[in-house]
Chain A
Amino acid sequence: MATKTIRVDYLTRIEGEGGLDLQISDGRVTSAQLNIFEPPRFFEAFLRGRGYAETPDLVARICGICPIAYQMSAVHAIENAFGITVDGQLRALRRLIYCGEWIESHALHVIMLHAPDFLGFPDAIQMAREHGDMVRSGLALKKAGNELMRVLGGREIHPVNVKAGGFYRVPSRAELTPVAESLTRAHEFAVSLVRWVATFPFPHFERDYEFVALRHPDEYPFNEGRLVSNRDIDIDIADYETQFEERHIAHSTALHSLVKRRGAYVVGPLARYALNFDRLPTSVQALAREAGLGPVCRNPFQSIVVRALEIVHACEEALRLIAAYEPPTLAALPVGPRAATGFGCTEAPRGICWHRYEFDAEGTIHAARIVPPTSQNQPSIEADLAAVATSVLDQPDEIIRDRCEQTIRNYDPCISCSAHFLKLSLNRT
C-alpha cells in the first residue's frame, strides 16, 4: 500500500509565494491543497483610521500587477458611500485605463507565464529561442497596455492619477494619439495571438463550474454591473455578503470564499466570458468561434484562449474610447464625505475584486473588507487539482507535478493579492 506525497514547495511562474500538497492513498487523491504562505500584510487592519482620499494609493499596493483593479473598486466604493456618480468622459477614461491593465496583465500571463507550459519550455526566454517572433510581439503587446497605463496614470505600477470623483489631471486628445497607434498594432498582434494559442494541445478536461462575474446591460464588464452566476445568483454588489462567505483555512493565509449555499465558484476570464458572451462585439465572437470556442468554455486549460480574446476586446474597446474622447471640463467631480458604508466591485484581470468601507462623517475609514479574485478561486483550484491529478495518477511523479502546476497557472493566481494564499506536496499511501 503506497503512500505518496507529491509536493511543490515553491510554485514558479505565478505572482507571489505558494506551494502545493497532494496526498495519494490506495491509488486515490485524498487531499489536494494549494498552500498560500505569502506573509499577510494586514491591509484591512491598517486602513482603519486612514482617509478616503489616500485609500486609492494605499490599496494599489495590494498588487503590483493589478493596481488599477484595487484603485477602481476603492473609488467606486467611496463614491457609493458619498452619493456621487461619475459619468460621461470621466467614466470612459476609467474604462480606458482598465483596458490598459487587462492588456498588460493578460499579455504577461499568456506569453510569459502560461504559454511555456503548453510548448514545454521552462520560461518565455527559452521559448524565445524557437518562437522569437511571438515572444517579441507579446512583449510589444504588453508594452502597449503599459503605455496606456503610463499616459493615463503616470506609471505602469501603482499609477498616481486615479482619485475619488475622477482623476487629478485628464489627458488631451493629442496625448492619446500615439497610444492609439500602438494599440492598432497591438490589436493586430492580439488577433494572431488568439489564433496561435488556439492551436496548443489542451488536455480534455471540463468541470461544471459555478461562474460568477459582473453583468452590465450594454457592456462587457469592467467597472459596473450586477453580480450574477450561471446558477441563480443575480444581486446588487452591496448584497455580496448575503450570498458569499469567507472561511479561514489552516493551510492558507488567504481566506477561502464560497457561495454560502453551494461552495466553490470561479471568477475571472472563463466566468466573464460565459456570462457575457452576448456583450462581446461580433468581431470578437467570430474570432472565438474561429478559435474553436462556443459561448461557454468549461476547460480551464483553454482559459489562455479566453484571455487572448479579452486582450483583443480590450484593444478594440480602448480604440473606440479614444476615438470618441473629448476632454471633460472637470478632471474630477467634487467629493464631500459623509458617514456611510460604500461598496465597490470591479473586474480585475483575474476576476471580481469586491470592497466594502465604512466611513465616518469626515471620511475616515472605520472598517474595511477586501475580497480579492484569487481567494475566491482557491477552492475551485483545489477541486481542479484533485480531478486533474486523478486523471494522471498512473503517470510518473514528474508528470503529475507538472500537470498540477499547470492547473494552478490556468487561474493566473495572484498570491500577493490573496494573502490575506500556495505550497504542492504529494502524499501517496
Chain B
Amino acid sequence: MSERKRPRLAVWKFASCDGCQLSLLDCEDELLTLAGVVQIANFPEASSVIKDGPYDLSLVEGSITTAHDAERILKVRRQSKHLVTIGACATAGGIQALRNFADVNDYIAAVYASPQYIETLATSTPISAHVPVDFELHGCPINKVQLIEVISAFLAGRKPAIATHSVCIECKRSGTVCVMVQGTPCLGPVTHAGCGAICPSFRRGCYGCYGPMDTPNTAALAREWRALGATPRDLLRVFRSFNATAEPFTTESEAHGD
C-alpha cells in the first residue's frame, strides 16, 4: 500500500515507565506486518523519522503531571482523528497518582536536594481529565494481544472487542482454581479482565493492576478479605496502588484509610 493511503499511527509518551509502548515493540511476530499496514508516523522510541500530523490513530501512554504536558496533550488531541489511551497511567493516573493523596512538596523534598529545579503539578491525572478519549485500554502493563485488537478495530472502523467483566471469568475460562477459596485474598472479583488472570495461575491473589471492572462490589470483597485475616491497612494499600484514582478504588481505599 502506498504511503499516502496507509493510515497514520502516532505513539505519545507522558509520565510513565515506557512499558505500554514497549508492548508494541514486544509484538515480535506482528510488528513488521503492522508496519506494512499502517504508516508509523510518530513513534520516537522506535524511529528517528517524525512526521507531522494529522494522525489517524494516536496511542497515548502516561499521565499528566506537569503544566507543559497539560498543554501538550491538547495539541496531540487536535492532531488526532482517534485517541486511545494505553495503560493504567493514561487511563487512571498510574502509580505516580499516589501524590494525589499526599503533599507533593513533601514528595519533592524526599527525592530532590534542590526542589526549585523541579516543575510538577500537585496531581497526576488521566488523559480523560484533559481531552476527550475515544477508547481506554486498561492494564499495568496493557496486554499486547488486546493492543493489536484495538489498533485493528480502529483501522476497520469498528468497536474493539475488549471484555469488561472481572478477572474471575478469566480464571474460570482457563480452569485456574480460585485462590480465594484456598485462603489467599484476591482482587480478581472487582478487577477489569484483560491480563488473562496471570496472578492466580501463579498461586497469588490478583493485585488489581487492570483497575476496576464495570460496577464492582468492592465493599463486599473487602468484607471477604477481612474474613481471611486482612487488616484495614492491607485493604488501604491494595486499593491504593496502580489505579488508585479510579473512582471505585479511591472510595474503597478511603473506607479503610488513615
A112 and B46 contacting across the interface, CB-CB below 8 Å: yes
Query: Which segment, of A47-55, A84-92, A289-297, A339-347, faces chain B?
Result: A47-55
What's the minimum C-beta distance from B7 to chain A, rounded to whole angstroms? 16
Given contacts A42-B96, A124-B46, contact A248 B112 (CB under 8 A): yes
Nearest A residue to B40 by beta-carbon distance?
Answer: A125
Q: Among the listed B45, B107, B201, B202, which residue makes an inter-chain contact with A46, where contact means beta carbons less than 8 Å apart? A: B107
Q: Among the listed A38, A42, A128, which residue makes an inter-chain contact with B110, where contact means beta carbons less than 8 Å apart? A: A42
Q: Among the listed A11, A146, A155, which residue makes an inter-chain contact with B28, where contact means beta carbons less than 8 Å apart? A: A146
- Type the 1/0 row for B159-203, where 1 means its CB is closer than 8 Å to any CB of A: 000000000000000000000000000000000000100110111
In the bound complex, residues from chain B placing their C-beta under 8 Å from that of A62 are 17
Query: Which segment, of B18-26, B52-60, B125-133, B150-158, faces chain A?
Result: B18-26
Query: Which segment, of A14-22, A234-242, A266-274, A275-283, faces chain B?
Result: A14-22
**Does B44 belong to the interface (CB within 8 Å)?**
yes
What's the minimum C-beta distance from A118 to chain B, rounded to whole angstroms? 13
What's the minimum C-beta distance from B228 to chain A, rounded to whole angstroms? 15
B111 and A15 contacting across the interface, CB-CB below 8 Å: no
**Does B241 belong to the interface (CB within 8 Å)?**
yes
B28 and A139 contacting across the interface, CB-CB below 8 Å: yes
**Does A28 belong to the interface (CB within 8 Å)?**
no
| CA–CA, A420 and B17, complex, Å | 12
In the bound complex, residues from chain B placing their C-beta under 8 Å from that of A135 are 32
In the bound complex, residues from chain A placing their C-beta under 8 Å from that of B22 are 15, 64-65, 108, 157
Given contacts A12-B48, A46-B99, A65-B18, contact A40 B118 (CB under 8 A): yes
B201 and A123 contacting across the interface, CB-CB below 8 Å: no
- Type the 1/0 row for A49-76, where 1 means its CB is closer than 8 Å to any CB of B: 0110010011001111101000000000
From 276 to 335 in chain A, residues with beta carbon under 8 angstroms from any chain B beta carbon are: 331
| CA–CA, A113 and B45, complex, Å | 8
A123 and B47 contacting across the interface, CB-CB below 8 Å: yes
**Does A233 belong to the interface (CB within 8 Å)?**
no
A54 and B95 contacting across the interface, CB-CB below 8 Å: no
**Does B246 belong to the interface (CB within 8 Å)?**
no
**Does A39 belong to the interface (CB within 8 Å)?**
yes
**Does A253 belong to the interface (CB within 8 Å)?**
yes
Given contacts A112-B46, A142-B28, A248-B112, contact A157 B95 (CB under 8 A): no
In the bound complex, residues from chain A placing their C-beta under 8 Å from that of B40 are 123, 125
In the bound complex, residues from chain A placing their C-beta under 8 Å from that of B135 are none
Q: Among the listed A57, A65, A123, A163, which residue makes an inter-chain contact with B49, where contact means beta carbons less than 8 Å apart? A: A123
Q: Among the listed B28, B199, B242, which residue makes an inter-chain contact with A160, where contact means beta carbons less than 8 Å apart? A: B199
What's the minimum C-beta distance from A154 to chain B, rounded to whole angstroms? 4
**Does A169 belong to the interface (CB within 8 Å)?**
yes
A248 and B17 contacting across the interface, CB-CB below 8 Å: no
In the bound complex, residues from chain A placing their C-beta under 8 Å from that of B141 are 64, 155, 157-158
B195 and A155 contacting across the interface, CB-CB below 8 Å: yes
Interface residue tally for chain B (C-beta within 8 Å):
62
In the bound complex, residues from chain B placing their C-beta under 8 Å from that of A45 are 99, 102, 106-108, 110-111
B99 and A42 contacting across the interface, CB-CB below 8 Å: yes
Nearest B residue to A249 by beta-carbon distance?
Answer: B117
| CA–CA, A161 and B202, complex, Å | 7
B47 and A12 contacting across the interface, CB-CB below 8 Å: yes
A39 and B69 contacting across the interface, CB-CB below 8 Å: yes
What's the minimum C-beta distance from B87 to chain A, rounded to whole angstroms? 9
**Does A250 belong to the interface (CB within 8 Å)?**
yes
| CA–CA, A57 and B13, complex, Å | 22
What's the minimum C-beta distance from A411 to chain B, rounded to whole angstroms? 16
Nearest A residue to B22 by beta-carbon distance?
Answer: A64
A160 and B204 contacting across the interface, CB-CB below 8 Å: yes
B19 and A58 contacting across the interface, CB-CB below 8 Å: no
| CA–CA, A113 and B49, complex, Å | 13
From 357 to 397 in chain A, residues with beta carbon under 8 angstroms from any chain B beta carbon are: none
In the bound complex, residues from chain B placing their C-beta under 8 Å from that of A128 are 32
- Type the 1/0 row for A140-152, where 1 means its CB is closer than 8 Å to any CB of B: 1011001000000
**Does A122 belong to the interface (CB within 8 Å)?**
yes
In the bound complex, residues from chain A placing their C-beta under 8 Å from that of B96 are 41-42, 46
Nearest B residue to A420 by beta-carbon distance?
Answer: B111
In the bound complex, residues from chain A placing their C-beta under 8 Å from that of B201 are 154
**Does B37 belong to the interface (CB within 8 Å)?**
no
In the bound complex, residues from chain B placing their C-beta under 8 Å from that of A43 are 111
What's the minimum C-beta distance from B258 to chain A, rounded to whole angstroms? 10
What's the minimum C-beta distance from A386 to chain B, rounded to whole angstroms? 22
**Does B75 belong to the interface (CB within 8 Å)?**
no
**Does A168 belong to the interface (CB within 8 Å)?**
yes
**10 A–B pairs (Cβ distance < 8 Å), ordered by A:** A17-B13, A39-B15, A44-B110, A64-B22, A116-B48, A123-B49, A125-B46, A154-B198, A157-B141, A414-B18
| Besides the known contacts A58-B95, A125-B47, A161-B202, 4 further A-B residue pairs in the complex with CB atoms under 8 A apart | A42-B99, A44-B111, A61-B140, A249-B117
B contact residues vs A (CB 8 Å cutoff): 13-20, 22-23, 25-26, 28-29, 31-32, 35, 40, 44-50, 65-66, 69, 94-96, 98-99, 102, 104, 106-108, 110-114, 117-118, 120, 124, 140-141, 195, 198-199, 201-204, 207, 209, 237-238, 241-242
Closest 4 CB pairs of A and B: A64-B19, A123-B47, A45-B107, A41-B96
